[in-house]
Chain A
């Protein structure tokens, strides 16, 4: 039963990758990276169970925590650009 779920998750990862390659704006690509990250956590957990190795769940836990930091860094990057642009327009 885990195989069906892992195939579904892999298919969604492919679809997210297509969105990352195709997305007209930058935000679509960041959304695709976010979706990819959470699907990777799900895939790692399911495959860890599939292999019968519950101590591999540490990887999924580590990545679930780290995923958010990347997206927050992107938010900070966009804010920085907007701030710089407004400051350049003020000068």
Chain B
């Protein structure tokens, strides 16, 4: 009984995580500006990491694999937002302006293209 409940729960978590990943990918293509694309990439990344790894940890039970999955999840949660910060900071320092509501991709300043 508890096995079936665990299976259903991990199914739901894994499918939701997959959906988050897909949403992030589609958002990375359709959003107009670089700074909006960063939102799509990093937010969905973090959510999908938590969902998918929780789903897999429920499947693994109490074993070494669960500890490793937890460690991977922890490191991804730490390094993902840091990389996003570093990238947004680099773009801002080099002069890419966050235009609100623009549909074009042409940056205002000169950039390394």
Interfacial residues, chain A to chain B (CB-CB below 8 A): 1-2, 4-5, 7-9, 11-16, 18-19, 24-28, 30-32, 34-35, 38-39, 41-42, 45-46, 49, 54, 57-58, 60-61, 64-65, 67-68, 71-72, 74-75, 78-79, 81-82
Contact = CB atoms under 8 A, between A and B. Distances in A.
Query: Dominant SS at the A interface?
Result: helix
Interface string B30-43: 00001001100100
Contacts of A68: 79, 82-83
Given A25-B111, A34-B41, A38-B49, A11 B25 contact: yes
Given A25-B107, A38-B45, A46-B56, A31 B34 contact: yes
Contacts, number: 147
Query: Dominant SS at the B interface?
Result: helix
B79 A58 contact: no
How many interface residues does chain B have, given as a range?
35 or more
Contact of B75 (A25, A49, A61, A78): A61
Contacts of B10: 1
A13 B107 CA distance: 26
B25 A71 contact: no
